[in-house]
Amino acid sequence: MAVVNDSSEFRYLRSQAHQLGTDVPPAERIALALPDGRTLSALRFGDGDPEVTLLHGAGLNAHTWDAVVLLLDRPVIAIDLAGHGDSSWREDLDYSPAVLADDVAEALRAWTSRPQVLMGHSLGGLTASIVASWHPELVHELVLVDIVPGVDTDAAPAVLREFYTVTDFSSRDEAVDRAQQFGFGGSRSDTERGVFFNTRVRADGRVEWKHHFARIIGSAFDSLKAAHAASGGAPWAQLAGVAAPVTLVRGERGFLQDADVATFAEHLPTARIVTVAAGHNVQETAPASLAEIASGALTRVTR
């Protein structure tokens, strides 16, 4: 079992591993200098060349995948998308999937030596689909978690915009209280862990959200919606053209409606669709399902 410093960002791994009945893998934070001067940050788990790369959703960070990583027990990279976690914010405020995909492709070339099982949740799923379309040599299999192109998320931004009207707190406990008031997270301990990873302490002692979405939540979702409208049917065409096998994981209580799944099946008739008992954040509420899907993908022979 790896020795993990409890005062580090990996402080929760041991207790999570104990609850899940797994060992703690070697874990470290890595960073990549991007051509434009920004930094892309990620977590690397396990020994050997990474086999799975994980992309989180808007307002989350790489640690949202911790339980999946522990259950999968394979070499993994979990990336902090631009504007999230320890990755740099973008001055142009552009966090559209096509822009994020460029960073991910750079990272895969730098950090991996084999095609990846690329699993993306929500915004990370839209980003992953573009990576798989534009850079097929980097992707062994694509797994989309509770997202398809054009999904109607108008209700989610309304809740998030209200939540992020407060962006700094006197303590992390205060941030946890607010998150629980809005129904985010599960148990208080789960919410405390999420808040710990998603916040930082400023020089003045106040606690603030790490991710840029907290500051630009309205414009961020508006720009994502506008980008999709301007693209016409391009995202569907890109996804349908992905050479790697594709799996869609739908949370029973997630964002996807029956019509979204039907449209997905129409565009990708050979793709696999798996429904699990979970909300939108499947990786946090049903991590074993995603670990099993990733493990299965690794056992399939590359085309």
Cβ-in-10-Å burial (0-12, 13-18, 19+) of 203 comes to: exposed
Residues serving a catalytic function are 122, 146, 280
91 SS3 class: coil
Best CA proximity match to 93, nearest among 263, 239, 212? 212
Burial of 181 (C-beta count, 10 Å sphere; 0-12/13-18/19+): exposed
Mapped onto helix, strand or coil, the DSSP state of residue 251 is: strand
Q: In what helix (H) or strand (E) does residue 78 lie, and over which residues does it extend?
A: strand 76-80
Residue 126's contacts (CB-CB under 8 Å, 6 or more residues apart) are: 97, 120, 147, 149, 235
Would you state the torsion angle of the CA atoms of residues 6, 11, 17, 19, taken in this order, to the nearest 10 degrees?
Answer: 100
Q: What sign has the CA pseudo-torsion 101, 105, 108, 113?
A: positive
Rg (CA), the chain: 18
